[in-house]
Amino acid sequence: MAELVSQQHRVNPLTIALDQFDRTAEILHLDEDMRKVLRVPKRELTVNFPVRMDDGRLEMFSGYRVQHNVNRGPAKGGIRFAPDVDIEEVRALAMWMTWKCALVGIPYGGAKGGVACNPKQLSRTELEGLTRRFTSEIYTLIGPESDIPAPDMNTDSQIMAWIMDTYSMQRGYSVPAVVTGKPLEIGGSAGRTEATGRGVTYVVEEVLGYRGERLEGKTVAIQGFGNVGSHAAELLAAQGAKVVAISDVSGAVFNARGLDVNAALQIKNEGVLVSDLPGGERISNDELLELPVDILVPAAIHGQITGENADDIRARYIAEAANGPTTPEADEILRERGIIVIPDVLCNAGGVTVSYFEWVQGLQAFFWEIDQIRRRLKSIISRATRETIATAEKYDVDLRMGASALGISRVAEATLSRGIYP
């Protein structure tokens, strides 16, 4: 963990997000008024609230909810529980959500939320108390027509169930559509848990196909074996890729002949460290990033590929399953070296796409079969990938700038259409 955290503190995600926006605004020739509107959040809330701990002590926690832009529809974005959550990180993530939703063409604006805490040090009772109190604090912002939270780092379907229940108790009736990523029993959607990892696979397949390549036989290293990384590993392997390295906070394991992904999934579910997977060599997370593979999938936290290690990256493709894993300085180095970076706003958009499906199903009280969800997900993600490639070619830029240009231009068009009130 220390290795990942030390990397995380080298960069400010808001600096990355604003740098990407400013460069894209130049490409699109956005006027100064539009830049002023899109560069800042529409609304943000900081709350400080008490939670009674199991031993009777009262602890104070700080939480945040930021709505970056709602010109294309209700705000959408996850809630994360992590020690280093702060307002600037949440602002950056909300901005990226705005572009991501526009990029894949779903009618949402971007939002994000978080609580500065270490959930691993909280009991289940304490975690529930924290979740319910935070929900009460942001109650005035969230709702199925205004702002729909979802799971993110260290939050899951149970956290979403507590949020939905707390909100519903204050409304006086059940409101399943207030959150996505819920358990199936209370209005969740089939395919939601796997959605981000599945979207990564669809995007990679589309990019490779455009370049006349196939996924079958490609070597893959995956940093981070949480929900996104583990599903990406499983699905990439099912399509014929050879997963040669995976990691979690304890370190990484590597086998040039390929790892047994099913065995890795099993020990993960049993609570065993991924680095203890038999049949591989233990390496560090830094060493995993520098392996000579076809595809590197950073699926951990932001700021992992920086100006300090970009020259040592030997993958041919980088598929950003995490948010903001590559800094602008690293982007420039990778571009000069001819390494193709598939940007986060496209690569990990499967999660928000199926969240949209869940929201629609909840509003209609009519639920879809898993095959229908996967088919619609593939259609949306594949189309967005093709449109990103076309936009990148139009402006003669890389895929990150192509995705940013497509997403930002759509939000700018919506802003122009709606005008300035009053």
Q: What is the DSSP string of 168-207?
A: HHHHTS--GGG-SS--GGGT--TTTTTHHHHHHHHHHHHH
Instruction: Looking at the structure, tell me whether residues 60 and 172 fall in a common domain.
Output: yes
Residue finishing a domain among 342, 375, 390? 342
**422 is a domain residue:** no
Burial of 419 (C-beta count, 10 Å sphere; 0-12/13-18/19+): exposed
Contact predicate 97/68, CB 8 Å: yes
Q: Say which of 100, 112, 182, 218 is annotated catalytic.
A: 112
Instruction: Looking at the structure, tell me whether residues 161 and 231 fall in a common domain.
Output: no
- The CATH number of the domain holding residue 64 is 3.40.50.10860
User: pLDDT tens digit string along 58-73?
Assistant: 999 999 999 999 999 9
Instruction: Looking at the structure, tell me whether residues 53 and 150 fall in a common domain.
Output: yes
Domain extent, residue 119, equals 27-178
Instruction: Looking at the structure, tell me whether residues 99 and 239 fall in a common domain.
Output: no
Instruction: Verify whether residue 268 is a known catalytic residue.
Output: no
Instruction: Looking at the structure, tell me whether residues 173 and 259 fall in a common domain.
Output: no
Instruction: Looking at the structure, tell me whether residues 267 and 241 fall in a common domain.
Output: yes
Instruction: Looking at the structure, tell me whether residues 31 and 168 fall in a common domain.
Output: yes
Q: How confident is the model at residue 5 (pLDDT cuts 50, 70, 90)?
A: very low
**371 is a domain residue:** no
Q: Please say if the pLDDT value at position 419 is more than 50.
A: yes
**40 is a domain residue:** yes
Instruction: Looking at the structure, tell me whether residues 135 and 201 fall in a common domain.
Output: no
User: pLDDT tens digit string along 14-43?
Assistant: 988 898 999 999 999 999 999 999 999 999
Residue 34 CB: number of other CB atoms within 10 A?
17
Instruction: Looking at the structure, tell me whether residues 157 and 239 fall in a common domain.
Output: no
pTM, two decimal places = 0.92
**14 is a domain residue:** no
Instruction: Looking at the structure, tell me whether residues 87 and 200 fall in a common domain.
Output: no
Mean pLDDT over residues 141-154, rounded? 96
Mean pLDDT over residues 255-273, rounded? 92
- The CATH number of the domain holding residue 200 is 3.40.50.720
In total, how many domains does the chain have?
A: 2
Residue finishing a domain among 342, 368, 399? 342
User: pLDDT tens digit string along 296-346?
Assistant: 999 988 789 999 999 999 999 999 999 889 988 999 999 999 999 999 999
- Non-local CB neighbours of 232 within 8 Å, separated by 6+ positions: 196, 197, 200, 201, 222, 297, 299, 321
Task: Measure the CA–CA gap between 363 and 187, rounded to whole angstroms.
Answer: 10
Residue 376 CB: number of other CB atoms within 10 A?
16
Instruction: Looking at the structure, tell me whether residues 237 and 162 fall in a common domain.
Output: no
**372 is a domain residue:** no
**374 is a domain residue:** no
Q: Please say if the pLDDT value at position 170 is more than 50.
A: yes
